[in-house]
Every structure is written in structure tokens, then in C-alpha cells.
């Protein structure tokens, strides 16, 4: 094709001409180091979606770099954790430490938080700093905590009763440090959703109140009795509470039975109540939460995207030079910048990114292309080197012998996997058996040997670094489980043979490991692997949620501990103490709480408190637990338990469902971003693609073609055995997907708002387009 060649030659002429022209005004090519640093700060922010406005002075930028360094972030997280874990050692404690120890540690934590905040204040413009609610929140929390500590220690020394109430503020540090953006957003969403929910809640309460009045009129005069022999539905408040519990379904059908026994017609009352309040209102709560969650999420995403573009534009403006009528960034500056922003990227990969940015090989990039850099840096390009097996290198004769070849063929045969699937199933049966039986305990060694030899064989056949690559989840899982089980079994056998004593803890762990081994069978079914991947992809989303739950639980646990500590005692599983029967509190004599042996469910330390709160979240029997605490502390307990129920079950669980639904839909509406497509196209163009799937012959062909194609360009560092692959073509979070979508809808000509404007965006500013058939339902 001579025409094509000519064409290429022409382009190259143009390119060299352009570069020449660019270099002619060379004064423009060297860039001020300070400006470069500033641009790098902008780009880095855009890459990691940091929503921070910083000062542009060189000193502030140095500070800012330090602020975002993993070490200072790590230290902050560490002290937040220390602060939270202090609850383990403070009265009521799991392991009680002297007050002065915990106080000193807490003081150090506060000091670190102050330092961090001070550091931040040096970075951000003063006006912005003081307008930011989270800074104010941290300052107030630190001051209140200090005050509380002083008051508490003084009162304590002078022998007065004192409460460390400021401990409930601790999770605020966790929420308000800039690193926990996701968590903060979740909280902001909850806060934003509250007004809307409140109306539904009031209507819901009105509905329960009306039904209660009806129940009072219907049942109070009948003098029915409950199973426990108490008077059934005798006063209004009692009925109201019972019907509220019925909404949570915790006392169904018991609460209905006395009336139902009199006449089946009364059951209609309860059925209507449940339909209206449990199903309709609770669905309405879900719908309101979900709807608001989506609305505010969109606004946040919009802010993030604008902020990213704004920062990239600022960086562009710092680095741009004039070229003809347009502004561009020449490749030398671009390379300097990328080196500074992402020093960990190898030069070959940087070259690839440059190729993507400067698609037409002009020697410079325009504004549009420059803005894409933030996303480009986020794409994980994996460099794959084709490695030969280390044994083949060291002992080529042995590794390529007939026996070795035979083993390799066997291990690679599907039958090998099927055999192990069968072994796992047999293993499951043996695990179910009684391990004191010598046959079974010996079989365990056989199975262990089989599993270990499987791993060794695979390591013999596959290249070890490939076998233990990051993406090989199941190989890691198998090996860890097997090695741990081997070690556990050895430790256990050693303990047993040494003194006939076997530690229950070690045994328990060994048992768990043995059972976990069975999970591997899922990997053998394509369909389940897909489902499991979906679940694994949900994990990042769930972790944000877990953070949210921990914060809420922590606050309730601290309050619960202050209010109820020591009121309910647990005397051990087989205590003969008569007080054990009523949890050490005479008020509980004859209560359902004591009868069901719920004494362990108390607020006597933070671990117990967390477990109790989880039980309350699961809802079932929460009214019995609440009734137990009501018996020992009256009104406080009822308020505490109801508020917890509303906060966690009505709001948090619905947000969880919203989280999961969104994450799941995202999994189903995947689309590659334009940037990823561009990178992949370039990789393919350069013939550096991942060819694991393509047949060997084809691969060679492709490589040869590349050699020709790339003949006269400067690809020397890109060629050879390098292979690139995009690590993940899936968006891991709803967030990321939404960002990409919003970006794609953004018109390139649209004006990006300024920092100030971005800050003040509200969800109502955004006029959504008409819904489409695909979007709804």
C-alpha cells in the first residue's frame, strides 16, 4: 500500500516539523519547578478525587504533599483507631487499665488530631478552612473532650460521681478526617434524608396511634389475658408499645392470639395493621431513603467531577504554552509532570500513557486530552512479563524430561481438577464424622497430604509468580488455608503427644480451616464463580457501610454502657450462684429475660455491648431484651431501645439495601469508560495486548506484525517481551460508574464552575433530563 506509507511519511514530517517549531521557542519548554509542583498537586488531587482546596504557595504545596503522604495518613488512622479502642480499657472495661493511662493515651490522640488539623489549616485558605463544617466539628469535639477529661478527672479525684460523656464524640474524628470521604458522604446522605423521613415517620406513628386507640376500644373491656397471665391490651401506652413491636414483627403472632381465640374476626384488625404498618409503611421508608440517597449521591458525584475537571484545568493553565492559536502542553512537561505525580509508574508504561494522550503523535497534548490524564493515571495497567519456570532455568534437562512432561500434562488435564473435586466431597463427609475415631483422624493426614501435593504439583507446572499473582484469588485462598491447617494440625498433634492435652482454641481453628477448604468447590462451577465475583465486587461498598455501622454502634454502645453498666450480671455458663438465675438483679426475677438466659446480653463492656446491639439489629426478641432493661432502669431503657430501633433498623438497614441494590445494578450496567477504551485500543494498536486467550501461533504473528508496524518510531523501550493488560475492566463502585457517566454527558464546551461555585452546588440545581424507557423500570 504505497498510499498508506506515503500518508504515514507525511504525518511524520508534520510531527518532526511541529516538534521543531515547538523546540524553536525553547524558552517555553523549561518549566518553573514551583509551577510543576503545583500542577502535580492538582493532578494528584484529580486522580484521587480529593475534594480539597489548597493554597498555591510553594510552601503550602510541600505541606500538602506531606499531608497526603501515606505515612501521615497512616499515623492519623492509627490514632483514630487507638482512640476508639480505648473503650476496651475504660470502665466498664474488658481489661481495666488505670484512668491515668487511658487519659494520657487519649490526650496524645487529641494532640495528634490537633496537629493534623493544624497541618490542614496551613494548606487550605483560611476562609475555606473556617467555612468547612467538618473542621469546626473536629475543633469542637477536641475542646469538649478536653473539658470533659478535666472535669471527669477532677470530680473523680475528689470522689464525686462523674460520667465520661465526651466518649460518644470519638467516632466523629473517624467521620470528619478528610480521608474518610465515603463515610462522611454516607452520613451526609442520612442527614439529608432525615427531613423527608420525618414526615413519613410522623404519619406512621399517627397510624400506630389510631390503631392503638381502636385496639383499646375493642379489647380493653374484654379483660383477656396473655400467655404469661398478664392483662391483655389494658392501657393505651401498653397497647401502643405492643403494636410498635408488632410493626417490627418481633411479637407476632403472640400479640394477636388472645384476641384471635375469642373470634377470628379480630384477626382482621391485626392483619390490616401488619399490612399497613409493616409492609406499606416500611416499604415507603425504603423508597424514601433510596430515592433521597440517589438524589444526593448524584449531587456529590457531580461536585466530584467538576472538582476534578477544575483542578485539571488549573494544572493545564500552569503548564500550557501557546502553539499557533491553541494552548498545548508539550511532551517534555507532560513527562516531567507524570514522573512527579506517579513516580511508581515504570517508564515503559508512561510511554504507553503518552501514546494514548498524544494519539496523533503531535508531540504535545491539548486541553481535552490533558484533562483525561487524571483518569488515565487511575487505570491500572498491568505489565506482564512472560517468564520461564525457575526450574526450567536451573535444571532444564530435568524439567523437560519425559516424566516431567508427563506430570505437566496430567496436572493441566481437566481430570486432575475433577479428581480433586471428588476428594473435597469425600473430605466433607469425613469432616462431618467423629474425629476421635482413629480412622477419621488418620484420614485427615491423608487429605492434608493430598492437598499439599496438589499445590506442590501446580507450583511445579505453573510459574510460581504467575500462580501467586494478585488476581489468583483461589490459589492464594487454597494455599493459605492448607498451610494454616497443616500448621494447626501439627501444633495440635504436638500438644497432644507432649502432654495428652489438646487446646480447644487450636482445635477450633483447625476445624474451621478444614471446613473452609470445602468452599473451594464453588470455583469449579462457572455459574457460582460469577455470583461470587459479584459478591466480592460488593465488598468495597459494604466496607463503607460497615464503617457507618461501627460509628453508630459505637455511639450507642458508649451511651448504653454509661446507662446500664453492671445492672445485669452474667455469672458464667454453669454458675451455681442463685443470683445467676435472675442475672444478679432481683428486679429480673420471673422475667422472660432471665428465663430465656439472656444475662450475657448486657452493656458491661464494649464487646458485650456490640454483640447486644447486633442482636437488636436482627430485631427478633428485641422487645424481650428491651423489657429486661426496662425492668432494671425503667424509662431510660425504653427510650434507648426504641431510638436504636428507629435509627438502625428503619434508617440504616434501608440504606444498606439501597447500597446493595445500587451496587448490584451497577454490576449489570457496566460500560467501559472512554478512557479505558482508548488505552486498550492503543495497547492493541501497539500489539502489546494480553494474549492469554489467543492461540500461540496467532500471538507470534501479532508480535511480528508489530515489529514491522513500529519499525521506524522510537519504541525501543516498549518492545521486547513486555505485555500490557488493563487490570480491571469493571468499575468497582457505584461512585466510579456514576462519575464516568456524568463525565460522558458533560459537554466538552461546558464551562466548569469555579471552586466556590462547586462548593455551593445543591441537588435541586440539577435539572434531570426526561426519564427514558431504559432508565425507569
Residues in 547-576 that interact with a copy of itself by CB under 8 A: 570, 572-573
CB of 274 to a copy of itself, least distance (A): 6
Question: How many DSSP H helices and E strands does the chain contain?
Answer: 35, 5
Q: Which of 485, 630, 734, 758 binds a copy of itself (CB under 8 A)?
A: 734
User: How far is the CA of 511 from the CAs of 430, 475, 761, in angstroms?
Assistant: 12, 21, 55
* Residue 532 interacting with a copy of itself (CB under 8 A): yes
For the segment 749-768, give every residue that binds a copy of itself (CB under 8 A): 768
CB of 584 to a copy of itself, least distance (A): 15
For the segment 630-659, give every residue that binds a copy of itself (CB under 8 A): 656-657
Q: Which of 100, 159, 161, 527 binds a copy of itself (CB under 8 A)?
A: 527
Which of 39-47, 384-392, 661-669, 711-719 is the region at the interface with a copy of itself (rule: CB under 8 A)?
A: 661-669
Pick between residue 169 and residue 606 the one whose CB is nearest to a copy of itself: 606
Which cell is 377 given? 493515571
CB of 210 to a copy of itself, least distance (A): 6
Pick between residue 286 and residue 729 the one whose CB is nearest to a copy of itself: 286
* Residue 512 interacting with a copy of itself (CB under 8 A): yes
CB of 764 to a copy of itself, least distance (A): 14
Q: How many CB atoms lie within 10 A of CB 420?
A: 18
User: How far is the CA of 286 from the CAs of 204, 587, 619, in angstroms?
Assistant: 13, 39, 17
* Residue 590 interacting with a copy of itself (CB under 8 A): no
What is the distance between the alpha carbons of residues 749 and 755, in angstroms, rounded to a whole number?
18
Q: Number of C-alpha atoms within 13 angstroms, CB side, residue 317? A: 7
What is the distance between the alpha carbons of residues 609 and 174, in angstroms, rounded to a whole number?
20
CB of 428 to a copy of itself, least distance (A): 7
* Residues contacting a copy of itself: total by CB under 8 A: 112
Terminal Cα-to-Cα distance of the chain (whole angstroms): 52
For the segment 427-456, give every residue that binds a copy of itself (CB under 8 A): 428, 431-432, 435
* Residue 542 interacting with a copy of itself (CB under 8 A): yes
What is the distance between the alpha carbons of residues 185 and 296, in angstroms, rounded to a whole number?
9
For the segment 277-296, give every residue that binds a copy of itself (CB under 8 A): 278-280, 283-284, 286-288, 290-291, 294
**Of 376, 383, 301, residue with least CA distance to 341:** 376
Which of 146-154, 372-380, 471-479, 530-538 is the region at the interface with a copy of itself (rule: CB under 8 A)?
A: 530-538
What is the distance between the alpha carbons of residues 296 and 186, in angstroms, rounded to a whole number?
10
CB of 242 to a copy of itself, least distance (A): 13
What is the distance between the alpha carbons of residues 225 and 750, in angstroms, rounded to a whole number?
71
**Of 94, 154, 82, residue with least CA distance to 565:** 94
Cross-strand pairs, 327: 322
What is the distance between the alpha carbons of residues 455 and 476, in angstroms, rounded to a whole number?
10
* Residue 607 interacting with a copy of itself (CB under 8 A): yes
For the segment 204-233, give every residue that binds a copy of itself (CB under 8 A): 206, 210, 213-214, 216-218, 224, 227
What is the distance between the alpha carbons of residues 566 and 410, in angstroms, rounded to a whole number?
64
For the segment 228-287, give every residue that binds a copy of itself (CB under 8 A): 236, 249-254, 256-258, 260-262, 264, 267, 271, 274, 278-280, 283-284, 286-287
* Residue 519 interacting with a copy of itself (CB under 8 A): yes
What string of DSSP letters covers 655-692? HHHHHHHHHHHHHHT----HHHHHHHHHHHHTT----S
* Residue 194 interacting with a copy of itself (CB under 8 A): no
Q: Which of 147, 150, 203, 490 binds a copy of itself (CB under 8 A)?
A: 203
Which of 138-146, 472-480, 559-567, 660-668 is the region at the interface with a copy of itself (rule: CB under 8 A)?
A: 660-668
* Sign (positive or negative) of CA dihedral 32, 33, 36, 42: negative
Amino acid at each position: 500500500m504505497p498510499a498508506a506509507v506515503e500518508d504515514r511519511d507525511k504525518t511524520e514530517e508534520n510531527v518532526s516539523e511541529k516538534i521543531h517549531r515547538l523546540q524553536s521557542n525553547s524558552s517555553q519548554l523549561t518549566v518553573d519547578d514551583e509551577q510543576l509542583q503545583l500542577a502535580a498537586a492538582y493532578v494528584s488531587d484529580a486522580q484521587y478525587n480529593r475534594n480539597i482546596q489548597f493554597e498555591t504557595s510553594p510552601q503550602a504545596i510541600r505541606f500538602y504533599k506531606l499531608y497526603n503522604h501515606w505515612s501521615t495518613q497512616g499515623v492519623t488512622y492509627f490514632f483514630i483507631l487507638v482512640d476508639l479502642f480505648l473503650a476496651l480499657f475504660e470502665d466498664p472495661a474488658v481489661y481495666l487499665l488505670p484512668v491515668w493511662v487511658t487519659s494520657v493515651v487519649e490526650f496524645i490522640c487529641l494532640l495528634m488530631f490537633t496537629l493534623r488539623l493544624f497541618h490542614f489549616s496551613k494548606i487550605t485558605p483560611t476562609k475555606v478552612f473556617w467555612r468547612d463544617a467538618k473542621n469546626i466539628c473536629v475543633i469542637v469535639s477536641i475542646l469538649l473532650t478536653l473539658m470533659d477529661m478535666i472535669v471527669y478527672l477532677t470530680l473523680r479525684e475528689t470522689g464525686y460521681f462523674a460520667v465520661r460523656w465526651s466518649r460518644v464524640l470519638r467516632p466523629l474524628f473517624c467521620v470528619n478526617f478528610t480521608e474518610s470521604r465515603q463515610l462522611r458522604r454516607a452520613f451526609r446522605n442520612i442527614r439529608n434524608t432525615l427531613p423527608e423521613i420525618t414526615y413519613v415517620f410522623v404519619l406512621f406513628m399517627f397510624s400506630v396511634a389510631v390503631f392503638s386507640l381502636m385496639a383499646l376500644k375493642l379489647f380493653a373491656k374484654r379483660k383477656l389475658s396473655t400467655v404469661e397471665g398478664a392483662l391483655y391490651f389494658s392501657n393505651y401506652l401498653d397497647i401502643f408499645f405492643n403494636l410498635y413491636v408488632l410493626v417490627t414483627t418481633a411479637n407476632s403472632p403472640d400479640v394477636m392470639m388472645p384476641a384471635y381465640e375469642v373470634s377470628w374476626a379480630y384477626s382482621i384488625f391485626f392483619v390490616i395493621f401488619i399490612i399497613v404498618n409493616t409492609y406499606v409503611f416500611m416499604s415507603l421508608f425504603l423508597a424514601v431513603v433510596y430515592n433521597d440517597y440517589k438524589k444526593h449521591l448524584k449531587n456529590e458525584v457531580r461536585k466530584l467531577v467538576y472538582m476534578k475537571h477544575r483542578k485539571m484545568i488549573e494544572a493545564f493553565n500552569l503548564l500550557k504554552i501557546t502553539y499557533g492559536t491553541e494552548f498545548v502542553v508539550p511532551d517534555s512537561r507532560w513527562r516531567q509532570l507524570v514522573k512527579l505525580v506517579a513516580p511508581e509508574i515504570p517508564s515503559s508504561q508512561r510511554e504507553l500513557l503518552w501514546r494514548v494522550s498524544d494519539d496523533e503523535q503531535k508531540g504535545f497534548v491539548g486541553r481535552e486530552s490533558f484533562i483525561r490524564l487524571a483518569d488515565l493515571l487511575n487505570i491500572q495497567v498491568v505489565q506482564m512479563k512472560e517468564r520461564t519456570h525457575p526450574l526450567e532455568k536451573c535444571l532444564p534437562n530435568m524439567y523437560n524430561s519425559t516424566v516431567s512432561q508427563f506430570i505437566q500434562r496430567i496436572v493441566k488435564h481437566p481430570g486432575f481438577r475433577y479428581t480433586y473435586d471428588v476428594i473435597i466431597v469425600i473430605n466433607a463427609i469425613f469432616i462431618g464424622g467423629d474425629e476421635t475415631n482413629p480412622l477419621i483422624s488418620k484420614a485427615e493426614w491423608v487429605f492434608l497430604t493430598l492437598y499439599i501435593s496438589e499445590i506442590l504439583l501446580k507450583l511445579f507446572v505453573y510459574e510460581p509468580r504467575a500462580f501467586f499473582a494478585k488476581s489468583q484469588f483461589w490459589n492464594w485462598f487454597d494455599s493459605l488455608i492448607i498451610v494454616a491447617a497443616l500448621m494447626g494440625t501439627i501444633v495440635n498433634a504436638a500438644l497432644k503427644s507432649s502432654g495428652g492435652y489438646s487446646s480447644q482454641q487450636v482445635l477450633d481453628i483447625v476445624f474451621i480451616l478444614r471446613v473452609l477448604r470445602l468452599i473451594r468447590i464453588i470455583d469449579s462451577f462457572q455459574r457460582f464463580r460469577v455470583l461470587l465475583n459479584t459478591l466480592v465486587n460488593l465488598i468495597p461498598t459494604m466496607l463503607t457501610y460497615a464503617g457507618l455501622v461501627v460509628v453508630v454502634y459505637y455511639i450507642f454502645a458508649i451511651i448504653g454502657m454509661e446507662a446500664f453498666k453492671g445492672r445485669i450480671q452474667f455469672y458464667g455458663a454453669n454458675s451455681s450462684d442463685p443470683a445467676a438465675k435472675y442475672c444478679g438483679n432481683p428486679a429480673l426475677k420471673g422475667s422472660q429475660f432471665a428465663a430465656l438466659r439472656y444475662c450475657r446480653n448486657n452493656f458491661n463492656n464494649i464487646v458485650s455491648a456490640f454483640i447486644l446491639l447486633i442482636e437488636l439489629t436482627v430485631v427478633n426478641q428485641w422487645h424481650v431484651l428491651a423489657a429486661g432493661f426496662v425492668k432494671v432502669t425503667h424509662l431510660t431503657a425504653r427510650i434507648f431501645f426504641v431510638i436504636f430501633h428507629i435509627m438502625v433498623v428503619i434508617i440504616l438497614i434501608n440504606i444498606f439495601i439501597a447500597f446493595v441494590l445500587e451496587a448490584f445494578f451497577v454490576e449489570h450496567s457496566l460500560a467501559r469508560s472512554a478512557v479505558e477504551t482508548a488505552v486498550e485500543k492503543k495497547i492493541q494498536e501497539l500489539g502489546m495486548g494480553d494474549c492469554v486467550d489467543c492461540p500461540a501461533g496467532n500471538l507470534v504473528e501479532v508480535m511480528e506484525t508489530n515489529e514491522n508496524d513500529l519499525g521506524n518510531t522510537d519504541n525501543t523501550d516498549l518492545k521486547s517481551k513486555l505485555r500490557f493488560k488493563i487490570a480491571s475492566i469493571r468499575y468497582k463502585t457505584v461512585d466510579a460508574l456514576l462519575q464516568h457517566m456524568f463525565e460522558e454527558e458533560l459537554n466538552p464546551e461546558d464551562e466548569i464552575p469555579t471552586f466556590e461555585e462547586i462548593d455551593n452546588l445543591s441537588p435541586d440545581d440539577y435539572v434531570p433530563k426526561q426519564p427514558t424507557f431504559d432508565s425507569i423500570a
